[in-house]
Chains A and B, each alone.
Chain A
Amino acid sequence: MEEKSNSRTDVIMAGLGGMGVLIAGQILAWAALKKYQHVSWLPSYGVEKRGGLCECTVIFSDQDIASPLIDRAQTVVVFDGSQLKTFEPRVLPGGMILVESSGLEDEQERRDYELVKIPGVEIAVSMGIRQVSNLILLGAYISIRDAMPSELIEKELGRRFGTKKTILECNQKAFRQGLELGRNAKK
């Protein structure tokens, strides 16, 4: 275990089945294990193999996690632009929603949180790998919210994909692009 932290972070990641929502949450949770005593990852998804509503809640803390289910989180990352309205009620007042800008038609209804639009799909397509928009959004989340040191995610990518060089590289590239987008969004 590396340096200890006393803070608690919670995030709901949401989108449609097949977009890599659950895996992005898993990468975050596994990375958090290196720093936090208590970590939970709770998935929720329907019977559809692709395209059904899908979410996971990730919590990491050095205090006991009373419930892995929470009504509202500090941050909600919406991986599919069309689902902003569905998940807008799930962010805490004063919190933040990071939303995929592709497919985004809904207007922000609540004014008590900050909305940040991230063109994850557009960048992934420009990279030639449509599937990695999840890592772009994860990267943006990490840098905008200072959720944890980005090296922890990099290490987790290595642990998970280390034996598959091409997959590892494109995930790393997407994650770093996301970090950069996040840094620019903060400016």
Chain B
Amino acid sequence: MSVFRIRFSRLCLIFCVVSLTLIQEVIADENSKGVWSGYISGQGRGFWQSPQFDDQRDGDLSLAVEPEYYKDWDNGLRAITFKPFVRLDSNDPERSHVDIREAHYLHVLGDWEWRVGIAKVFWGVTESQHLVDIINQTDLVENLDTEDKLGQPMIETTWLQDWGVVQFYILPGFRERTFPGRKGRLRTSLVIDTDEEEYESGAEERHVDWAVRLKTQFGPVDLGLSHFSGTSRTPELQPVLNSNGGVDLVPYYGLIDQTGIDLQTIVGNWTLKLESILQTRKGRDFTAAVGGFEYTFYGISESGADLGVLSEYHFDDRKQDAVTGFQDDIFLGLRYVLNDAQDTELLAGGFYDFDYSSKSVRVELQRRFSDSWKLESELQMFSDVASEDPLRTFHRDDYFQIDLAYYF
């Protein structure tokens, strides 16, 4: 039933966008043409340790497409965007998925802007964890790094001023987090049944969330303040008996209020960053923070490459109960940017958990070939993961991933 309702509400939104397209075709001036762009990518992942669970494989191949249609008129003060996303995975049916990343109409009137439809919003400043960012649900099957997000239905109202911006969000329609299925790697030991999710709100996924954000710039400082009220994007995983007599995990989405602050400033070669949240929910409040620096050595090679050294500390006062696993961890990273014609960039970083002594390392390399092809590769390793650490579930899932994408 709930699946049907979600599909239905999505259909409604698609219908809205299509009708908006048609309406604007009629009123649009002839100068503005719609533009298609996007990418198609082939991905291969290899896991070199034998899997923990029976159905898992040593690797998978997948194909992803993300086209985007954009059309504006009235000097860009009216615009529609439509951006679907599809991934087909050779192995895990849960990783094969379709999403509408964006499908919205933009209307600018003086200092006010409205965006209606499915959209993506990013809040925050830090690199190794995005604490404050909450509007969009994480598309976890895409990548463990939580940088990929699902499209969120919203009405966004923006009040743009010289000193900054105030934004109000009404968020009807909750998006459930995606999780790898039984056959997928990087999954929890018990399978997460995403068809049986539970909500604290009686309205379930139809609960209307809201949020407000203020962002301001003064001198070299960027400051953001935000508040979100509604269904948490991060579920708790609760064990339940399944029909086969085994145990599955069911995501439980509670109602929360979350206040966040993000702050960034630049002093000489230093960029200082801080994000912190205070989350309140029935019976359980917590604060979490992540903060640190990036120090950049400019022009270290003849060709003008830059080397950045990053470090961020993670804190969560739920301590070992923190579902994120970032309760007392330090991140150390290097960013090597060649500043060459191919935009070659290497990012290497590692987390160290002070409570569990667990380590994880990640290396990302990206480079463009010709003007349309881009190669991205990624290496992820976990080591010395303590049995109590939430990361334990991935301890045999070290992998190497290659993405070759054609952009158009």
A and B from one complex: no
